[in-house]
Structure 1
Amino acid sequence: MTTTMPTFHPRTERRLAAAGRVHDLLRSAIMHGEIPSGVLPGELELMESFSASRQVIRGALEMLRQEGLVRRMQGSGTLVTSLRVTHDFDFLHGPAQEIAHKVLSVGQEIAPPSVARKLRIEDGGSCGIVELVTDLADTPLDTTTVYVKVDFLPTVLQFDPHDEWFSLYAKAGIELGVTDHAIEASVADPFNASLLGVDPGHPLLVLERLVHNTDGEPVEYAFTRIRGDRLTLRQSLSRVEPRTRSD
């Protein structure tokens, strides 16, 4: 199957590429809180800062507007309106911003085979299932399905919606160790779309995690479905390869 790439006039191609670069840099400044006033500089100042034409600047601002990151207010300029969370993947924690959880349901069922394998539950054994919705400033951020061992359910029933989810383990005297994460792109199904306030098919990031205690025993298997327009993932990486253990 042959894929046909779109073709543009060379001048248009240069303008679109330049607008994309300006968009990337402005978006990064918004995400890192580098615009403390919440108001972007005016078009003339942006044109000077980026050595770009008015068309390029307007194209970049339109991309930000389509993402829901900014809006134009008459007499006030272009305002940052982003409702996003920033999540650093350096240790296991919840979002840094003020959020609130809503527990939709807490139940117990026969563990599906894949869950039983992940949590090391014997065949035919039961698991706890918790369904959550997380809000950011009263706006839906994500939905989560958490599978836990049955003996952890009494602790779940003590969960304070304004606490971090992982604080439950400290309450239960469980010290958390390594967590395996997988991140995939997906889209919202009708049920989760209704919870997240988006249309079915809306872009999502799905975080699949398997949490272990310090003894290496699995304690939680979960899927978090996050609105793609609400999350920035950050991670610090080293070029230095970890040493392999010699026998």
Structure 2
Amino acid sequence: MVEVHSPTPLYHRIYAVLRERIVKGYYPADRAIPSEAELSESFSVSRITIRRAMEMLTAERLVTRTRGRGTFVTDRTKDNEFNRAVVSNVNGLFSYLNDVGKSTRLKVISLDRGEAPPRICAQMGVEQATELVRAVRVRLLDKRPYSLSIAYLLPEIGGMLKRQDLANTNMIDLVQEAGASVEQVEQVMTATLADDYAAKHLEIPIGAPLMLVNRLFFNAELKPFYAAEIFYCADRYEYRVSLKREDGKDFSLGN
């Protein structure tokens, strides 16, 4: 999974992936991150390589290492006044998802039920360690991986999913067929790097650039019931938005 002839040292590529996980909240601040031995096995590299990557994270003050307790993410929570949602219409999103479904083919990786990651529990507004249904799929475009999607659903909705349906139908159609009403969707797009899992299923090197789209779906009571993380190959994905001025809605910036 790792490019043998990459000019970037292996430990630096591991550091970059771990840094992305920390920045994106993959590791919660109140829990120890995996040990050197666990990370070594996960990335299929030596513990020396992992140790050098961890030393870089420590020097950057992204993690704190405590003897006898483990390594913890440094709490860097800050509110950013610019991270505000732009309100739009879900019909445009549904139309886009429908077009993507017509142009691609789905490959189901897994459909299971288990303890959801802390970051997903926080988004869904459920207690940590809550069991959710998880569906992992890869979209193929021209017979090559185009995106990796990981969906987390409340059991009352996700429990009705069938593997054969996941191979042929968009998730948004499946959840509505299961009785869910989509009243609101929140979407966040960020740049990230491929970890070992994404690299394997997208057939790209660890540390390759990706576009991560997070979508959170709310029901008629405005309660989240479905969270999706979609990883797109950066060299094959483009998200384009057309913005138009509304009549009578002129706006000028203040000094």
- With normalisation by structure 2, the TM-score equals 0.54
Q: Which amino acid aligns with 1:186?
A: T
In the alignment, the residues of structure 2 paired with residue 242 and residue 118 of structure 1 have an alpha-carbon distance, to the nearest angstrom, of 35
Tell me what 1:190 maps to: 196
3-state SS in 2 of match to 1:210: strand
Q: 1:80-159 counterparts in 2 under 5 A?
A: 90-92=92-94, 93-94=96-97, 95=100, 97-157=102-162, 159=165
The percentage of counterpart residues that share the same residue type is 21
- Residue by residue, what CA displacement relative to the aligned partner does 1:74-116 show, whole Å, maximum 9, x if unpaired? xxxxxxxxxxxxxx99323422642121221112222333322
Q: Which amino acid aligns with 2:92?
A: D
Tell me what 2:39 maps to: none
In the alignment, the residues of structure 1 paired with residue 234 and residue 91 of structure 2 have an alpha-carbon distance, to the nearest angstrom, of 17
Name the CA shift for 1:189/1:212 in 2 (closer, same or farther; >3 Å): same
Alignment check: 8 A CA contact 1:142 1:227 kept: yes
Alignment check: 8 A CA contact 2:108 2:166 kept: no
Alignment check: 8 A CA contact 2:210 2:231 kept: yes
Name the CA shift for 1:226/1:142 in 2 (closer, same or farther; >3 Å): same
Q: Which amino acid aligns with 2:213?
A: L
In the alignment, the residues of structure 1 paired with residue 123 and residue 179 of structure 2 have an alpha-carbon distance, to the nearest angstrom, of 21
Tell me what 2:14 maps to: none
Q: Does 1:229 align with 2:235?
A: yes
In the alignment, the residues of structure 2 paired with residue 238 and residue 135 of structure 1 have an alpha-carbon distance, to the nearest angstrom, of 33
RMSD between aligned residues: 2.6
Gap regions ≥5 residues in structure 1: 1-87
- Residue by residue, what CA displacement relative to the aligned partner does 1:23-53 show, whole Å, maximum 9, x if unpaired? xxxxxxxxxxxxxxxxxxxxxxxxxxxxxxx
Q: Number of paired residues? A: 156
Name the CA shift for 1:227/1:155 in 2 (closer, same or farther; >3 Å): same
Alignment check: 8 A CA contact 1:90 1:235 kept: no
In the alignment, the residues of structure 2 paired with residue 99 and residue 211 of structure 1 have an alpha-carbon distance, to the nearest angstrom, of 22
Tell me what 1:211 maps to: 217
In the alignment, the residues of structure 2 paired with residue 114 and residue 242 of structure 1 have an alpha-carbon distance, to the nearest angstrom, of 39
In the alignment, the residues of structure 1 paired with residue 250 and residue 173 of structure 2 have an alpha-carbon distance, to the nearest angstrom, of 30
3-state SS in 1 of match to 2:159: helix
Name the CA shift for 1:124/1:206 in 2 (closer, same or farther; >3 Å): closer
Tell me what 1:162 maps to: 168
